[in-house]
């Protein structure tokens, strides 16, 4: 019986969308899609975004909504796989989403953006950092509230060359979309800054042991090791590097700027550098957003929470200012209207990147990330 | 007496599972505050659950035993009989045909889209069925051929602007060449050695795609792959989706047609003979090497074509879509559906691809349910959902 | 310098090989007896590591001395892994004893998925730090950066486990019953061997080696999560096939060969194509020795 009910629901929903698609979109709510990894091994990067969107939308709905309309959330899982992301995007389009917060991973975002572009749906990602999503200019409907990887690599190169005064470096990555992309950008900017890359290699994620590659790094004696990828492999590698009594400086990107990295690597994490979004812990809106999360869920917010909170605020503000859910009007509003968010006062440039946000360098000291000025 | 016995057995099972799940279900260590959370309510749930489930379990196993005995006297199951009775098969096929034609118009675009994914896996399953179900060669790296097809289209289009329709056969041919390339060195291997070498082959293809940036653009993949064209007419996304849906349906029908013909041809019989007894079939004059290579090549062809359609459907591909996991899923569709049986493989692929999509409501319990379904299906229907019926010749004295 | 580099790679490969070997032993035993690729074996290894971590944290918080914690947690991990191995066999494989072999394989894949997600839901999806059980003492100054005490420990354990297993199979009653069952199940049961019990025993022994592996490896790499069993399991399986599946010394030799191959290839050429090379090497070996390095080629029955 229950099963039949579900099928009936599917049928009615499909029939409904069919009729709606034919006529004008006469909905009396604004539909905000939220897409990203909500299950699987990358769920911890996707779920905080859902929480952020829920909190912002709840607050705005209570104060009367946007343009007098209530906001409805459509939450869909893409497991960070491109082919699933395509299905997710189609589902959101079918369900009549007006704008979308997402996706979380760059690969999934690339697969989904084409679908949104054709349906003229604006997409704003809290965490997809692949540079060409905005720089290529192919996706006028794409915006993001996080700085892209090229900015990060520039920050790394500048800090390492000017403050740490390194001359040679080894670059390791996890062969993934995110990690390898970061590593290639690091190679580019470090070489431009005059450093010598003595080793550029990928390691197999999830392997049981990295002693061979660490031995190889050791034999090249670099001043610095740059890691492109997430924290699980990074903590294995740093542990081995320190166990082999190498003094090399270790630096990673926002993939390792995660408290789990410190927890897992323990004492070996001390002295590691990581780049991550600028410290915003003093921003009153950020403090408020954090408190809202603690009140609602009884825990501290997770990765990209502030970015997602800001993305939701920015897009809803743009709809308000645009006066409608018209595609061109929202884009114009996003690019011209400043909005106060937990990340600071932001608007978007013509490529789609937020202005006024960036990366800083952190150093792990006594089990905590400390921002380096 | 027996009831008492049953209860005793169930109590034992319940105690055993309470013991078994104790550390993982009950204790949870909070590493931040260094405190322990004791979740005793979980133990109660496990205990009560195991008590009733073990009763159900034994009851079902018993019924399966009885069912098997009955089955032997009965011969074919209902589904199989339905498939073989012309009286039911023809109207049934017509209903399915009409339903398929109307499908994209009745259901939303999302439904059409996941149906396209499922149908692509139907083609993959049918292709792998040639290799495993007919020729009996266990291949664990089938996704590699899928990748070859998808990348052939993506790269040929990128460099030479070749369109979907020309790429479709080319993808198939490339995949077939790779099939022969893989098949040749492993002709001597049997059973699980073959499985592990094909697994290795699948990983090699994926890793090369991941590492060789100059050739395949590495893990960041290839984007903006065009959807299939229709005499150069511009189409909206909705129409394109419907269009791809019909393309896949035609591809599925074509696949079924070819495999059906192959099955009863000289080659098909040779495959089945080789699978049953290599030495005897060699003695009867079947060229082992040629026959096996044909199976690899023909099986790979379908994966290649499915890959081209897949690339044109998602418009973005990267190596993450062609992992060992995809190979395993395709293998599951074949075995779960019923090895060698066309209807079975179709049913298996539809079930395995659509189930996770419709189970989105289960949220985080999606994958654990999926695992449990795989085990239960195999235990209660080890031959698959719709078992293959081999032609038998009765000899009466 | 060059020789030292070579030695480091050699020993690194040896450690890696020992890690594979501890998992591969269980694979090869189960395969030898019921010809099933036990996909869930990697998950047993993962559950062993999780149980070890949970029990050791509880005991540490109760204020037990370190040595007692290590011993008790290790024992708990072994007992639980064995229990899981036993239960898995009863639920997922025993009803399929007479079914087509591929059905059992799919059931094993389902079990692997089930166990992964069971731990994911009941515990966490995050990586958990795993304490270093083997104290990092300097026993061989000034060369301790070449091989650490933990690595040496893994190496020794592997060899001891392998020798014990060989003795078990060669000389004990249950070992003889295992060999008889693997040769001919029907004949073995005719001669009064309880085949079901023998198969259960094989799973229990195989799971115990996986648990030992789980704890040692987790303490070596310092972290665990629910997905750790899958990749390690695949590699161990490749190693078992390379050595000749079903043969215990073969599994160990295959693991060492695989470990060295990967280590030297990374050290002298590139780690980008490390796995590609390992698999190509596997194919080449199997072309020349179709049943692995130490596997006996079976005569075909007509």
Beta strand C223-224 with C128-129: parallel, antiparallel or unpaired?
antiparallel
- Name which of A60-74, C132-146, C210-224 the model is least confident about: C132-146
> Quick check: A90 and B241 CB within 8 A?
yes
Class for the domain spanning A150-271: alpha beta
Chains adjacent to B (≥3 CB pairs closer than 8 angstroms): A, C
Q: How far is A234 from chain C (nearest CA, A)?
A: 11
Nearest CB partner across the interface for A245, out of C145, C217, C230: C145
| Mean pLDDT value across residues B220-230 | 80
Quick check: A251 and A227 in contact, CB under 8 A?
Answer: yes
pLDDT at B69: 63
- Angle of helix B366-380 relative to helix B40-74, nearest 10 degrees, comes to 30
On the question of pLDDT at C145 being above 70, the answer is: no
Q: Is B111 in CB contact (< 8 Å) with chain A?
A: yes
Q: Is C227 in CB contact (< 8 Å) with chain A?
A: yes
Q: Chain B contacts of A21, Cβ < 8 Å?
A: 238
Q: Chain B contacts of C288, Cβ < 8 Å?
A: none
Give the domain ranges of chain B.
Answer: 2-74, 107-380
User: What does pLDDT average to over chain B?
Assistant: 83
> Quick check: A107 and B357 CB within 8 A?
no
> Quick check: C238 and B208 CB within 8 A?
no
Nearest CB partner across the interface for B109, out of A10, A93, A111: A93
- Name which of A20-34, B192-206, C236-250 the model is least confident about: A20-34
Judged by CB atoms within 8 Å, which residues 43-102 of B form the interface with A? none
> Quick check: C13 and A201 CB within 8 A?
no
> Quick check: A244 and C15 CB within 8 A?
no
Class for the domain spanning B107-380: mainly alpha
Nearest CB partner across the interface for B110, out of A94, A106, A138: A94
Nearest CB partner across the interface for B211, out of C96, C107, C272: C272
Question: Which residues neighbour B379 within 8 Å (Cβ) at sequence distance 6 or greater?
Answer: B61, B64, C92, C95, C96, C107
- b (16+ CB within 10 A) / e for B36-71: beeeeebbeebbeebbeebbebeeeeeeeeeeeeee
Question: Taking the CA of residue C285 as centre, how many other CA atoms within 13 Å lie in the half-sphere pointing to its CB?
Answer: 26
> Quick check: B379 and C84 CB within 8 A?
no
> Quick check: B23 and C117 CB within 8 A?
no
Return per-residue pLDDT of chain A as tens, 373 residues. Answer: 344 444 444 444 444 444 444 333 445 788 899 998 877 667 777 888 888 999 999 988 988 888 888 888 888 888 888 888 888 888 888 888 889 998 888 888 888 888 888 888 999 999 888 888 888 888 888 998 888 888 888 888 989 888 888 889 999 998 887 888 889 899 999 999 888 899 998 888 878 788 888 888 988 889 999 998 888 888 889 988 888 878 889 998 888 887 778 888 888 888 899 888 777 777 888 888 888 888 887 777 777 888 899 999 999 888 888 888 888 888 888 888 888 888 888 888 888 888 877 788 899 888 888 888 7
Quick check: A334 and A316 in contact, CB under 8 A?
Answer: no
DSSP states along A306-338: HHHHHHHHHHHHHHHHHTS--HHHHHHHHHH--
C-alpha distances in Å from residue B186, one per residue of A187, B195, B259, B303, C291: 41, 10, 24, 19, 12
Which pair of structure tokens corresponds to residue B306?
Answer: 């499915």
Which pair of structure tokens corresponds to residue A297?
Answer: 């869920």
State residue B37 phi and psi, 5-degree precision.
-105, 120
Q: Is C42 in CB contact (< 8 Å) with chain A?
A: no
User: What does pLDDT average to over chain C?
Assistant: 84
Q: Is C35 in CB contact (< 8 Å) with chain B?
A: yes
Quick check: A102 and A34 in contact, CB under 8 A?
Answer: yes
Judged by CB atoms within 8 Å, which residues 77-96 of C form the interface with B? 80, 83-84, 87, 91-92, 95-96
Q: What is the largest CA-CA distance in chain A?
A: 70
Q: Chain C contacts of B200, Cβ < 8 Å?
A: 238, 279-280, 282-283
Name the CA dihedral angle for B268, B270, B271, B277, rounded to a multiple of 10 degrees: 150
Q: Given CATH 3.40.50.300, say whether it is the number of domain A29-146+282-346.
A: no
| Mean pLDDT value across residues B66-80 | 60
Q: Chain A contacts of B106, Cβ < 8 Å?
A: 14-15, 18
Q: Chain B contacts of A3, Cβ < 8 Å?
A: none
Distance CA C279, CA B97 (A): 45
Same topology for domains A29-146+282-346 and A150-271, yes or no? yes
Quick check: A344 and A358 in contact, CB under 8 A?
Answer: no
Q: Is C208 in CB contact (< 8 Å) with chain B?
A: no
Q: Is C222 in CB contact (< 8 Å) with chain B?
A: no
Which pair of structure tokens corresponds to residue B314?
Answer: 């998602």
> Quick check: A206 and C231 CB within 8 A?
yes
Question: Which of A9, A43, A89, A107 to mutate: most B Cβ within 10 Å?
Answer: A107
Name the region of A80 (left: φ>0; alpha: ψ -120 to 50; beta: rest). Answer: left
Counted residue by residue, chain B has a size of 397
pLDDT at B308: 93
Q: Chain C contacts of A235, Cβ < 8 Å?
A: 127, 222-223
Q: Is C237 in CB contact (< 8 Å) with chain B?
A: yes
Give the domain ranges of chain C.
Answer: 12-136+144-230
- The ipTM of this complex is 0.85
- Nearest to A193, CA basis, from A152, A156, A224: A156
Interface list for chain A against chain C, based on CB atoms closer than 8 Å: 41, 43-44, 175, 201-204, 206-209, 211-213, 215-216, 218-219, 231-232, 235-236, 239, 243-245, 260, 263-266
Judged by CB atoms within 8 Å, which residues 269-288 of B form the interface with A? none
Q: Is C58 in CB contact (< 8 Å) with chain B?
A: yes
Residue in chain A nearest C149 by alpha carbon: A243
> Quick check: B220 and A82 CB within 8 A?
no
pLDDT at A88: 87
Q: How many CB atoms lie within 10 A of CB A115?
A: 24
Look up the pTM and report it: 0.83
Name the CA dihedral angle for B55, B56, B57, B58, rounded to a multiple of 10 degrees: 60
Quick check: C169 and C178 in contact, CB under 8 A?
Answer: yes
- Name which of A273-277, B216-220, B388-392, C244-248 the model is least confident about: B388-392
Note if the bond before C45 is cis, omega within 30 degrees: no
Provide the pLDDT confidence category of residue B121 given band limits of 50, 70 and 90: very high
> Quick check: B207 and C61 CB within 8 A?
no
Q: How many CB atoms lie within 10 A of CB C116?
A: 25
- Name which of B45-49, B286-290, C298-302 the model is least confident about: C298-302
Residue in chain B nearest C51 by alpha carbon: B23
On the question of pLDDT at C229 being above 70, the answer is: yes
Residue in chain A nearest B316 by alpha carbon: A111
On the question of pLDDT at B89 being above 50, the answer is: yes
- Burial (CB < 10 A; 0-12, 13-18, 19+), residue B358, is middle
> Quick check: A206 and C228 CB within 8 A?
yes
| Mean pLDDT value across residues B31-58 | 81
> Quick check: A236 and C127 CB within 8 A?
no
Give the domain ranges of chain A.
Answer: 29-146+282-346, 150-271
pLDDT at B81: 63
> Quick check: B371 and C302 CB within 8 A?
no
Counted residue by residue, chain A has a size of 373
> Quick check: C221 and A208 CB within 8 A?
yes
Name the region of C184 (left: φ>0; alpha: ψ -120 to 50; beta: rest). Answer: beta
- Between A340 and B82, whose confidence is greater? A340
Which pair of structure tokens corresponds to residue C206?
Answer: 């195989």
Distance CA C53, CA A41 (A): 20
> Quick check: B31 and C83 CB within 8 A?
no
On the question of pLDDT at C219 being above 50, the answer is: yes
Residue in chain A nearest B103 by alpha carbon: A14
Note if the bond before C142 is cis, omega within 30 degrees: yes
On the question of pLDDT at C299 being above 60, the answer is: no
Provide the pLDDT confidence category of residue B174 given band limits of 50, 70 and 90: very high
pLDDT at A3: 44
The DSSP symbol for B176 reads H
Which pair of structure tokens corresponds to residue B282?
Answer: 């060699």
Q: Where are the beta strands (DSSP E) in A78-190?
A: 99-101, 122-125, 142-144, 168-173
Q: How many CB atoms lie within 10 A of CB B318?
A: 29
Q: Is C127 in CB contact (< 8 Å) with chain B?
A: no
Q: Chain B contacts of A87, Cβ < 8 Å?
A: 110, 113-114, 117, 357
| Mean pLDDT value across residues C190-218 | 90
Residues A74-129 have pLDDT tens digits of 888 888 888 888 888 888 888 888 899 988 888 888 888 888 888 889 999 998 88
């Amino acid at each position: 019986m229950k099963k039949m009910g579900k099928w009936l629901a599917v049928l009615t929903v499909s029939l409904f969308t069919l009729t709606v698609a034919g006529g004008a979109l006469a909905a009396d709510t604004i539909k905000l899609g939220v897409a990203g990894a909500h299950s699987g091994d990358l769920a911890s990067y996707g779920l905080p975004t859902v929480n952020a969107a829920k909190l912002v939308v709840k607050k705005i709905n209570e104060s009367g909504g946007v343009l007098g309309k209530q906001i409805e959330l459509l939450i869909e899982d893409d497991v960070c796989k491109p082919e699933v992301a395509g299905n997710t995007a189609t589902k959101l389009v079918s369900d009549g989403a007006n704008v979308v917060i997402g996706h979380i991973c760059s690969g999934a975002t690339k697969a989904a953006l084409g679908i949104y572009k054709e349906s003229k749906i604006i997409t704003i990602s809290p965490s997809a950092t692949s540079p060409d999503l905005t720089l290529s200019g192919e996706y006028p409907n794409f915006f993001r509230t996080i700085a892209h990887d090229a900015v990060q690599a520039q920050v790394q190169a500048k800090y390492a060359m000017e403050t740490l005064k390194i001359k040679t470096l080894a670059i390791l990555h996890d062969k993934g979309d995110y990690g390898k992309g970061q590593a290639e950008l690091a190679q580019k900017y470090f070489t431009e800054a005059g450093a010598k890359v003595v080793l550029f290699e990928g390691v197999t994620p999830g392997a049981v042991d990295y002693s061979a590659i660490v031995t190889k790094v050791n034999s090249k004696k670099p001043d610095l090791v740059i890691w492109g990828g997430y924290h699980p492999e990074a903590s294995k590698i740093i542990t081995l590097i320190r166990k082999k009594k190498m003094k090399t400086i270790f630096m990673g990107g926002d993939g390792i700027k995660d408290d789990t990295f410190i927890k897992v690597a323990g004492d070996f994490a001390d002295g590691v550098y990581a780049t991550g979004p600028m410290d915003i812990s003093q921003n009153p809106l950020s403090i408020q957003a954090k408190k809202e999360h603690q009140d609602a869920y009884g825990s501290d917010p997770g990765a990209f929470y502030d970015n997602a909170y800001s993305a939701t605020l920015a897009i809803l503000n743009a709809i308000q200012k645009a006066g409608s859910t018209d595609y061109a009007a929202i884009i114009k509003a996003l690019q011209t209207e400043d909005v106060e968010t937990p990340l600071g006062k932001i608007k978007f440039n013509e490529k789609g990147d937020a202005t006024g946000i960036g990366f800083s360098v952190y150093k792990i000291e006594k089990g905590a990330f400390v921002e380096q000025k | 007496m027996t009831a008492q016995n049953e209860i005793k057995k169930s109590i034992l099972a319940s105690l055993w599972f309470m013991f078994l799940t104790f550390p993982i279900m009950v204790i949870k260590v909070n590493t931040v505050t260094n405190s322990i959370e004791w979740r005793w309510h979980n133990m109660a749930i496990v205990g009560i659950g195991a008590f009733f489930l073990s009763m159900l379990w034994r009851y079902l196993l018993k019924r399966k035993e009885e069912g098997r005995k009955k089955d032997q006297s009965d011969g074919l199951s209902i589904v199989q009989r339905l498939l073989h009775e012309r009286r039911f098969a023809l109207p049934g096929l017509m209903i399915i045909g009409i339903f398929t034609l109307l499908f994209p118009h009745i259901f939303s675009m999302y439904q059409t889209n996941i149906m396209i994914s499922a149908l692509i896996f139907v083609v993959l399953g049918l292709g792998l069925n040639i290799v495993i179900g007919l020729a009996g060669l266990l291949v664990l790296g089938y996704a590699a051929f899928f990748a070859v097809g998808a990348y052939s289209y993506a790269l040929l289009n990128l460099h030479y602007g070749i369109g979907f329709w020309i790429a479709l056969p080319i993808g198939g041919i490339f995949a077939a060449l790779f099939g022969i390339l893989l098949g040749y060195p492993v002709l001597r291997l049997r059973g699980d050695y073959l499985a592990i070498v094909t697994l290795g082959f699948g990983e090699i293809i994926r890793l090369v795609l991941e590492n060789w940036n100059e050739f395949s653009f590495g893990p960041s993949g290839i984007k903006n792959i065009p959807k299939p064209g229709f005499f150069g007419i511009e189409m909206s996304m909705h129409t394109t989706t419907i269009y791809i849906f019909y393309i896949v349906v035609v591809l599925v029908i074509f696949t079924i047609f070819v495999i059906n013909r192959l099955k009863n041809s000289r080659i098909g019989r040779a495959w089945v003979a080789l699978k049953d007894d290599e030495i005897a079939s060699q003695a009867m004059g079947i060229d082992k090497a040629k026959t096996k290579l044909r199976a690899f090549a023909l099986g790979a062809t379908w994966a290649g074509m499915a890959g081209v359609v897949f690339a044109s459907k998602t418009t973005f591909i990267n190596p993450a879509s062609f992992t060992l996991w995809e190979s395993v899923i395709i293998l599951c569709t074949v075995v779960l559906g019923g090895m060698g049986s066309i209807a079975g493989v179709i049913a298996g692929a539809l079930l395995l691809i659509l189930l996770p999509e419709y189970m989105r409501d289960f949220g985080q319990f999606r994958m654990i349910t999926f695992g449990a379904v795989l085990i239960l299906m195999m235990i209660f229907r080890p031959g698959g959902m719709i078992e293959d019926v081999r032609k038998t010749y009765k000899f009466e004295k | 310098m060059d020789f030292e580099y070579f030695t480091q790679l050699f020993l690194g490969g040896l450690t890696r090989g020992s890690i594979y070997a501890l998992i591969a032993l269980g694979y090869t035993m189960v395969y030898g007896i019921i010809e099933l690729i036990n996909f869930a074996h990697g998950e047993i290894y993962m559950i062993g590591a999780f149980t070890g971590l949970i029990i050791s944290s509880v005991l540490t918080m109760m204020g037990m001395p370190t040595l007692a914690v290590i011993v008790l947690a290790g024992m708990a991990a072994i007992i639980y892994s064995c229990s899981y191995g036993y239960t898995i066999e009863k639920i997922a494989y025993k009803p399929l004893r007479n079914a087509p072999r591929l059905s059992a394989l799919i059931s094993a894949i389902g079990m692997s998925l089930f166990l992964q997600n069971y731990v994911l839901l009941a515990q966490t999806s995050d990586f958990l730090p795993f304490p270093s059980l083997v104290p990092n003492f300097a026993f061989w100054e000034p060369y301790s950066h070449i091989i650490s005490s933990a690595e040496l420990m893994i190496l020794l354990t592997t060899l001891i486990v392998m020798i014990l297993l060989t003795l078990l199979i060669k000389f004990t009653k249950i070992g003889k019953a295992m060999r008889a069952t693997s040769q001919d199940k029907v004949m073995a049961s005719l001669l009064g061997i309880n085949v079901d019990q023998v198969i259960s025993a094989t799973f229990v022994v195989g799971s115990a080696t996986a648990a030992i592996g789980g704890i040692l490896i987790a303490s070596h790499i310092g972290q665990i999560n629910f997905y750790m069993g899958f990749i390690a399991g695949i590699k161990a399986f490749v190693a078992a096939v390379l050595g000749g599946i079903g043969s215990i010394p073969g599994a160990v030799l295959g693991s060492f060969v695989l470990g060295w191959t990967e280590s030297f290839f990374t050290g002298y050429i590139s780690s980008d194509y490390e796995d590609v090379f390992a698999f190509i090497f596997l194919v080449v070996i199997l072309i020349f020795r179709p049943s692995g390095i130490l596997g006996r080629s079976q005569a075909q029955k007509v």
